Chain A
């Protein structure tokens, strides 16, 4: 492995995380499309909505992560992909806007009809987006993106058998992952009935996704020969076998209602197939452009890798905290949620006059240094003093004004 491969591995890890976590959120949207207006159907949809609440924004960021690493570490590849595949990427973008908007809107719906309308729009965008992103992967995998500014065919680069297959597979996988995860969440919430409903959905979509994946191999054989060759031997084949085994294990675990371990095996099945794709396609990024050739210069690669490594030190514990709270059910809805905060004994805050003086001093020093001096140090001190004035001034003045207003009637 060379330095030029490291950002690619980071991208693939991000892509796997996005497919699993973001995919499960798309799938949760998928499950809001179905069912009638009976109380049970409503509960099933409500469960899907609430289960992703605390995590969907975080899960979405994986996509941004993949994009930014791609354009930093492999800029020419990114420019070629984004320009040739601009249509499906744009469609995915519109889907993402609709999805985010309808998600935010749902909390404001007042009537059942409004809510259903929003749900259907949310579900539709949750199907459109992974499909469009899947066609993008298909276009890259089948070698339809040449190097250059929109040099590929704007239509056939994503309207082709491999793209369609991966698009459909992405939607099916999302629905499947979501059903597994929602069943596990329902067990945690003590809702056996909801768990059963999602268990049935998981088994159904699991079989569909598995059959699609197998059938799709033949599509790939005819349409993306290079990938087929890579997947039918060596490390690529090993990845396919791991994926198939993990997928089968997931079905067995779900069938026996062991949902928590099924989360892991389902994720493994997805991660393995993404690894398989990368192994099958190497060393090419795009036709006529190897990963090595696509990579940016040494210093840029080092900067990205170091940046991500330092970021990971903060990110990993934070993700662990969020998912720890989430998976332990700390964010699950319960009735006490909207109870008013109990009143405790009132205390008064005394704002020391010294603080106010300090704020005023910061303003004076900051304004003079920034306005009358030209050297950098004067500007650094001056601007810091001005910002300190805003911060200090806000805390003191807003405390004074607000407590005055709450104490007077």
Chain B
């Protein structure tokens, strides 16, 4: 019914000709890819830093306080960059997709309004926390950090509620391109789709931040930096990532089953399933040629089993919708396989670490373990981006699933390639700058008091 309504109209502004739709999409994707890793740090870093500060207050060991204070400065620098990349995203909702915002702003806007407020609170308390070291009582300082953890979660809940709505739009009706009967609350929060996205992303944040930080200290370990401070800085983020990774597999499986129910075409694109099939197989690697997956490793009936917990369940194929309603299968499929492959490898590494430690009560001594941790940081980032490609490109050609096409949402303004090129250059500079500042901050000498520590370093 919704699809029929959409076919009759193209939103508040009607359709425009835009020769550079593809560039507009890439520009949005680039902005997103620049922002999303910073979001992970925004979610996970405060929890990790607070834990370390709490350990310091509980044990009285100054090492933890020094570590927490140092990390909090990096947290603030990354937050500052996240603030500006997030601003760009909010600009682009209007700059690139004015018809999307003009038509549906009133339906999904509530999510961003609440997100704006939670972002406000996050900025306030991150400032109080980072500038409050040594100026607030220890208990008050620890307390000032709690709202950062809560608002980090609340903010991602709001943004993902909007993404969930784009994937599973409800809470409105369309009449002549205008939304009527708008129920923002129902649209955003009574939406089944967004819960799995939220939990999946929340755990991903802890994986990415944890592995990225552990990766840095694993590099130091391989270069011979193995003092108390370095070891603690390695194991704390590693532990949170190692616990989140295996759980992520269970959550990811749940997410895929929900996708099978609500967006069967997207699931078919994940797996390159051309035709509706009973007892559908899974293919690892290979290439989708427009009808089926060629040269892949075929595992019979696995898809039916995974998606519906039944070996002969019917799985809908791409042929259930016309060709121009299908996403680009190979992009989605390879992004999905990359995410699942890396996620599985990280979970195995995690289980090894936790199991090894519980058994021996010490860290592994083999350099290979630290090399694996070193690789886990960048790999977790790749998995994160792949995951978002999976769900966002998998939603194509729709911006609002089965209601508005991305080509209908795009701006009529010219000059997209110029903007794209400019933004790409700026973001290239930005990533170099962030790498530089992180390196500089990491080289500030440690100030550890007491005897028997590595204060001399």
Contacts and interface: CB of A to CB of B under 8 A. Distances in A.
Most chain A C-beta atoms within 10 Å of own C-beta, residue among B79, B206, B232, B413: B413
Nearest to B440: A108
Interface stretch (B176-184, B289-297, B317-325): B176-184
B104 interface: yes
A54 B422 CA distance: 30
Interface string A311-322: 100110011011
B62 A87 contact: no
A58 interface: yes
B169 to A, nearest CB: 15
Contacts of B415: 86-87, 154
Given A64-B87, A99-B84, A297-B106, A325 B250 contact: no
Interface in B14-42: 14, 16
A307 to B, nearest CB: 5
Interface stretch (A205-213, A234-242, A329-337): A329-337
A307 B114 contact: yes
Contacts of A154: 413-415
Interface string A57-84: 1101101110111011111101111111
Interface residues of A, number: 109
A223 to B, nearest CB: 23
A390 to B, nearest CB: 5
Most chain B C-beta atoms within 10 Å of own C-beta, residue among A92, A149, A338: A149
Given A75-B105, A154-B413, A398-B51, A83 B61 contact: no
Given A318-B125, A340-B62, A404-B361, A71 B105 contact: yes
B124 A386 contact: no
A390 B247 contact: yes
Contacts of A67: 90-91, 94
A158 to B, nearest CB: 12
Interface in B104-160: 104-107, 109-110, 112-117, 119-121, 123-128, 131-136, 147
A84 to B, nearest CB: 7
Given A53-B131, A60-B83, A148 B13 contact: yes
Interface string B430-453: 100110110011000001111010
A319 B124 contact: yes
A190 interface: no
Nearest to B446: A340
A405 B128 contact: no
Interface in A367-409: 367, 370-372, 376, 379, 383, 386-387, 389-390, 393-395, 397-399, 401-406, 409
Contacts of B363: 405
Given A105-B433, A299-B184, A346-B61, A390 B113 contact: no
A93 B136 CA distance: 35
A78 B251 contact: no
A348 interface: yes
Contact of A149 (B13, B85, B362): B13
Contacts of B450: 343
Interface stretch (B237-245, B328-336, B338-346): B237-245
A296 B106 contact: yes
A363 B120 CA distance: 34
Interface in A108-155: 108-110, 148-151, 154
B105 A390 contact: no
B224 to A, nearest CB: 16
A275 interface: no
Given A107-B441, A393-B243, A401-B235, A300 B116 contact: no
B87 A406 contact: no
A23 interface: no
A266 B103 CA distance: 39
B199 A383 contact: yes
Interface string B387-427: 00000000000000000000000011111000100110011
Most chain A C-beta atoms within 10 Å of own C-beta, residue among B113, B228, B231: B113
Contacts of B366: none
A38 interface: no
A110 B440 contact: yes
Given A330-B135, A343-B60, A296 B452 contact: no
B46 interface: no
A311 B151 CA distance: 12
Contact of B250 (A97, A370, A406): A370
A154 to B, nearest CB: 6
A90 interface: yes
A315 to B, nearest CB: 6
A353 interface: no
A73 B189 CA distance: 19
B182 A299 contact: yes
B77 A300 contact: no
Contact of A347 (B60, B86, B192): B60
A79 B98 contact: yes
Nearest to A341: B65
B449 A82 contact: no
B99 interface: yes
Contacts of B452: 409
Nearest to A297: B182
Interface string B49-66: 001000110111111111
A331 B131 contact: yes
Contacts of A376: 192
A378 B147 CA distance: 29
A399 B55 contact: yes
Nearest to B408: A149
B284 interface: no
B185 interface: yes
A12 to B, nearest CB: 16
B77 to A, nearest CB: 5
A344 interface: yes
A67 B95 CA distance: 12
Nearest to A376: B192
A73 B109 CA distance: 8
A253 B452 CA distance: 58
A108 B430 CA distance: 14
A401 B109 CA distance: 44
18 contacts: A67-B94, A68-B113, A71-B112, A75-B102, A79-B98, A96-B84, A108-B440, A150-B98, A151-B412, A311-B120, A322-B124, A340-B449, A343-B62, A344-B62, A346-B61, A383-B195, A387-B202, A402-B232
| A-B interface, 4 closest residue pairs, ranked by CB to CB distance from nearest | A72-B109, A82-B94, A79-B102, A75-B105
Interface of A: 53-55, 57-58, 60-61, 63-65, 67-69, 71-76, 78-84, 86-87, 89-90, 92-94, 96-101, 103-105, 107-110, 148-151, 154, 296-297, 299-300, 303-304, 307-308, 311, 314-315, 318-319, 321-322, 325, 330-331, 336-349, 363, 366-367, 370-372, 376, 379, 383, 386-387, 389-390, 393-395, 397-399, 401-406, 409
Given A55-B127, A349-B59, 8 more contacts: A67-B94, A76-B12, A98-B426, A105-B437, A149-B98, A296-B105, A307-B114, A389-B247
